[in-house]
A and B are shown apart, each in its own frame.
Chain A
Amino acid sequence: MGTDGTGGDRTYKVLIVDDNPNLLSIITDSLLELGDFQVVTAADGAEGLAAFYAEHPDCMVIDVKMPGLDGYQLVRAIRGDPETAGTPLVILTALVQDSNRFAGMAAGVDCYLTKPVKPQDLVAAIQQAIARSEAERRQQLRVLVEEPPPEA
Chain B
Amino acid sequence: MMTPGLRRSVKATEVHRAPDVASEPVALFVDPDAASAERLAGALRARWATKVVASAQEAKAALRVSQPWLVVTELDLPDMRGLDLLAALHDQPRTRHVMLMIVTTRRMISDKIAGFQAGADDYLVKPVDGELFALHVELLSHLRRRL
Contacts and interface: CB of A to CB of B under 8 A. Distances in A.
A86 to B, nearest CB: 13
A25 interface: no
Nearest to A148: B142
A118 interface: no
B123 A77 contact: yes
Contacts of B60: none
Contact of B107 (A83, A138, A151): A83
Contacts of B131: 138
B135 interface: yes
Contacts of A76: 116, 122-123
Contacts, number: 59
A73 B135 CA distance: 17
A54 to B, nearest CB: 10
Contacts of A56: none
A53 B109 contact: yes
Contacts of B28: none
Given A99-B146, A148-B142, A80 B109 contact: no
B132 interface: yes
A142 interface: yes
A50 interface: yes
Contacts of A152: 146
A124 interface: no
A50 B125 contact: no
A68 B145 contact: no
B139 interface: yes
Given A141-B135, A141-B139, A82 B113 contact: no
Contact of A49 (B109, B117, B135): B109
Interface of B: 107, 109, 112-113, 116-117, 122-125, 127-128, 131-132, 135-136, 138-140, 142-143, 145-146
